[in-house]
Amino acid sequence: MYSNRIESLPPYLFAELDRAKKEKEEQGIDIIDLGVGDPDLSTPDHIVESMVEAVREPSTHSYPSYKGMKEFRETVANWYKDRFKVKIDPEKEAISLIGSKEGIAHMPLAFVNPGDKTLVPDPAYPVYKIGTILSGGKPIPMPLKEENDFLPDLDEISPKNAEDAKIMYLNYPNNPTAGTADKQFFQEVVEFAKEHDIIVCHDAAYTEISYEFEPPSFLNIDGAKEVGVEFHSLSKTYNMTGWRIGFVVGNQEIVNGIGQVKTNVDSGAFQAIQKAAITALNGPQECVSDSNNKYRNRRDLLLEGIESIGLEPTKTEATFYIWTKCPKGYNSMETSKKLLDEAGIVATPGSGFGEHGEGYIRFALTRSLGRIEEAVERMEGINFD
């Protein structure tokens, strides 16, 4: 019944955990879900008010341009200039997206032919691999190891895969590992991409959620625009996950290719949402720092709880995730299941993000400080010995 593309998709590895969670809830057990990467914080009032006003404008109800409103693209360009000191041509180097996930998933349809390879981080957000498979391509994993600070080792990519690859996907600050990348690493990526004629797709959805580290843009590097693009989203920065608004900027030819796919498969982002996004990017940014302060406090508290039961969290300087080693003798699903069974806490097994995610679990800082405090108290009763 289903196409070969659908049949080739990997299985949903969280099904067993979801079943167990539902079973606990049906038993009346209070579950603290630290698995979901969806902010619990509200969209700032000034953004909501802008949206309400824009929805009342009849002009926003027409079909939008697939490229995005001119004012939106100009706002994006100004934001990049202010935030990263990167110059973006709003006419040629930027388009709106219905969330960055949509653009990332559509990208290989513009550049990957059946059988072509893409270089995909592992562990990773699944859309890089899924987008490749749905376009008929072959994803080649780039292991993200703790000893390499969760950066791919470019020297470990075989000459054959490097020459065959059409796209390299990157994501920093990283989901799920919370790893970060500096300009030196991005410089190495630019040189590697030029040498092997590879398109770089950088998913920068978490650059604005940071604590002791200010994440750079991939486009900060000289020559980056020659080889790649950067995807951004307002979802996590402004707590707008359900609004579905983002953008891609960078290489004119690559942006145009993504745009050609979009003009054939969607009708662009709702203009009222684009107007609200303009308000978000142009408006006061205290809401972003306030959110980061809340996440920092949650991080510090949850780290105490994680360490108190003998688990080893890795460094979290950005994102709202804590990537944590499983205890000796436990795999990631077993660790997650024990947390659920004995404490009613949901954490995501690392195996769900790829082969190299095994041995870790991911906690999300997307519950209130009070709920995290309760989770820490519950952890005191867990024994992994």
pLDDT bracket for residue 9 (50, 70, 90): confident
Domain shared by 198 and 346, yes or no: no
The yes-or-no verdict on residue 12 having pLDDT over 70 is no
The number of domains in the chain is 2
β-pair type (138-143, 117-122): parallel
**Alpha-carbon span 221 to 217, nearest angstrom:** 8
Residue 360 counted as domain residue: yes
The confidence score (pLDDT) of residue 11 equals: 73
pLDDT bracket for residue 14 (50, 70, 90): low
Share of the chain above pLDDT 90, in %: 88
Phi and psi at residue 174, to the nearest 5°: -100, 140
Which tens digit of pLDDT belongs to each residue from 82-132? 999 999 999 999 999 999 999 999 999 999 999 999 999 999 999 999 999
Domain shared by 87 and 224, yes or no: yes
Only one residue has tokens 């700032």, namely: 44
The confidence score (pLDDT) of residue 6 equals: 83
Which tens digit of pLDDT belongs to each residue from 318-374? 999 999 999 999 999 999 999 999 999 999 999 999 999 999 999 999 999 999 999
Domain shared by 298 and 340, yes or no: yes
**Side chain identity, residue 301:** L
Domain shared by 184 and 152, yes or no: yes
pLDDT bracket for residue 181 (50, 70, 90): very high
Which tens digit of pLDDT belongs to each residue from 215-256? 999 999 999 999 999 999 999 999 999 999 999 999 999 999
Residue 373 counted as domain residue: yes
The H or E element containing residue 166 is strand 165-171
Please compute the mean of the pLDDT values over residues 175-201 and round it to a whole number. 98
Domain shared by 27 and 52, yes or no: no
Domain shared by 89 and 13, yes or no: no
The confidence score (pLDDT) of residue 25 equals: 87
Please compute the mean of the pLDDT values over residues 375-379 and round it to a whole number. 95
- Strand ranges inside 264-358, DSSP E: 312-313, 321-325, 345-346, 348-349
Domain shared by 304 and 233, yes or no: no
**Alpha-carbon span 189 to 172, nearest angstrom:** 13
Give the structural domain span for 127.
Answer: 45-282
Residue 164 counted as domain residue: yes
Question: What does the buried/exposed string (b/e) look like for 44-80 if buried means 16 or more CB atoms within 10 Å of the residue's CB?
Answer: beebeebbeebbeeeebeeebbbbbbeebbbbbbebb
Residue 384 counted as domain residue: no
Domain shared by 82 and 156, yes or no: yes
**Alpha-carbon span 121 to 119, nearest angstrom:** 7
Residue 366 counted as domain residue: yes
The confidence score (pLDDT) of residue 66 equals: 85
The yes-or-no verdict on residue 381 having pLDDT over 90 is no
Domain shared by 198 and 339, yes or no: no
CATH number at residue 211: 3.40.640.10
Residue 317 counted as domain residue: yes
β-pair type (94-97, 228-233): unpaired
CATH number at residue 346: 3.90.1150.10
Domain shared by 231 and 276, yes or no: yes
Residue 51 counted as domain residue: yes
The confidence score (pLDDT) of residue 211 equals: 95
Q: Among 282, 310, 327, give the residue marking a domain's end.
A: 282
Residue 385 counted as domain residue: no
Domain shared by 113 and 135, yes or no: yes
* Torsion angle of the four alpha carbons 258, 220, 152, 238, in this order, in degrees rounded to the nearest 10: -70
pLDDT bracket for residue 13 (50, 70, 90): low
Q: Among 264, 282, 300, give the residue marking a domain's end.
A: 282
Please compute the mean of the pLDDT values over residues 199-228 and round it to a whole number. 97
Spell out the residues 6+ positions from residue 242 whose beta carbon is closer than 8 angstroms to its own.
none
The H or E element containing residue 362 is strand 360-364
The yes-or-no verdict on residue 7 having pLDDT over 90 is no
Domain shared by 276 and 361, yes or no: no
Q: Among 282, 316, 336, give the residue marking a domain's end.
A: 282
pLDDT bracket for residue 385 (50, 70, 90): confident
